[in-house]
Amino acid sequence: METLGVLLTVPMNQYLEEELDSRYNLFRLWETPPESRLDFLRAHAGSIHALVGDTNVVADAETIDALPRLEIVSTFSVGLDKIDLHKCRERGIRVTNTPDVLTDDVADLAIGLAIAVLRRIPQADRYVRCGSWKAKGNYQLTTKFSGKPVGIIGLGRIGMAVAKRAEAFGCSISYHSRSEKPDTNYKYYSNVLDLAANCQVLIVACSLTPETRHIVNREVMDTLGPKGVLVNIGRGQHVDEPELVKALVEGRLGAAAIDVFEQEPLVPEELFGLDNVVISPHAGSDTLETCKAMADLVLQNLEAHSSSKPLLTPVL
Ligand code: DGY
């Protein structure tokens, strides 16, 4: 039987890369300069059956078209926004992702970011490190997280895990999603503006679709207001980034804690100069434990595919 040819679009953690290398015929796309990648794909097209990537995986129409023998796309992420699902469906290409195993970590980070920005943890750390505690005394007073009204955009697996955590902090929970969830008592708003008007900490936890692109626009930020905090652990494209910068600079929005950006790894320079922002590098699922679990899911899905068994986490 032919060994599965696996195209790795981005560097992966050592464990996953070594496992893939030992089991399959591995092609590392990122080692080829961007301008020659299409030629690379065409040159190896006859031997590539699987594509593995992460939140930067670009399984777009052009890549898929260049790979006539592609059978499966497996992404080391729960998000599917970089995969042309329509094209995969058309071609009968199977798609898998890594849901569930990362839910806790992403939800933990959402709450961590909310607390970090309200309690100004990064600033307090810098205050101590640069000797100001000794020189000037205690750090300034900050703002409480416990008990705040929290609004969540998207009440899927991650949104629900965020809600449960925030509830444990005594926060009241409301949410907006495509439709009302029958199995929760959280307050539902069919309109994001109404949600923003009724919460102080707004957490974006939905998946990226054409409908949710820029779901947090200028109007939503203005409604959240100077006391409001925006936390984004979804995708950069959920928030109108230039408007976010303006709202923070002009004080129309109180603060923001952002894990995801529109053009990663680029972060708008203006944010670096702002004191009301906490930034992290799209690190929601980046713990040793979860990355191992995600890697195992990718491997198990590929194994299931090559032995014609049902996929563990099928998307298509
Ligand atoms: C994912 O896996 O899609 C998330 O972005 C992890 O943070």
102 lines ligand 1 (CB under 6 A): yes
C-alpha 215/C-alpha 225 separation (Å) is 16
pLDDT digits (tens, 9 = 90+) for 104-114: 999 999 999 99
CA 106 to ligand 1 center in whole angstroms? 8
pLDDT digits (tens, 9 = 90+) for 146-158: 999 999 999 999 9
C-alpha 217/C-alpha 221 separation (Å) is 6
Q: What DSSP character marks residue 276?
A: S
106 lines ligand 1 (CB under 6 A): yes
Pocket test for ligand 1, best of 13, 52, 57, 77 (most atoms within 8 A of CB): 77
Pocket test for ligand 1, best of 102, 235, 238 (most atoms within 8 A of CB): 102
**Which residues are tagged catalytic?**
235, 264, 282
CA 23 to ligand 1 center in whole angstroms? 25
Q: What is the pLDDT of residue 58?
A: 82
Write the CA distances from 235 to 93, 130, 207, integer angstroms.
25, 34, 7
Whose CA is closest to atom 3 on ligand 1? 79
What pTM was estimated for this model as a whole?
Answer: 0.96
Name the pLDDT band for 1 (thresholds 50, 70, 90). confident
Q: Where are the alpha helices (DSSP H) in the chain?
A: 14-23, 37-44, 61-65, 85-91, 103-118, 121-129, 132-136, 157-168, 192-197, 218-224, 241-249, 269-272, 288-306
The first and second tokens of residue 67, run together, are 């790979």
ipTM of this predicted structure: 0.95
Closest ligand 1 atom to residue 76 Cα is: 2
The answer to whether residue 287 scores a pLDDT higher than 80 is yes
Q: What is the pLDDT of residue 95?
A: 98
Pocket test for ligand 1, best of 83, 280, 285 (most atoms within 8 A of CB): 285
Same fold, 5-101+289-306 and 103-279: yes
pLDDT digits (tens, 9 = 90+) for 4-15: 999 999 999 999
Whose CA is closest to atom 2 on ligand 1? 77
Instruction: Tell me how far the alpha carbon of residue 45 is from its chain's centroid.
Output: 30
75 lines ligand 1 (CB under 6 A): no
Residue 59, SS3 per DSSP: strand
CA 240 to ligand 1 center in whole angstroms? 19
Q: What is the pLDDT of residue 89?
A: 98
pLDDT-above-70 percentage for the chain: 100
The answer to whether residue 238 scores a pLDDT higher than 90 is yes
The first and second tokens of residue 305, run together, are 């595919």
The domain segmentation of the chain, as residue ranges, is 5-101+289-306, 103-279
Q: What is the mean pLDDT of residues 173-185?
A: 96
Domain formed by 5-101+289-306, architecture? 3-Layer(aba) Sandwich (3.40)
HSE-up of residue 68 (Cα within 13 Å, Cβ side): 3
CATH code for the domain defined by 103-279: 3.40.50.720
pLDDT digits (tens, 9 = 90+) for 193-203: 999 999 999 99
Looking at the DSSP assignment, which residues form a beta bridge with residue 22?
none
CA 93 to ligand 1 center in whole angstroms? 22
Q: What is the pLDDT of residue 191?
A: 97
Closest ligand 1 atom to residue 77 Cα is: 2
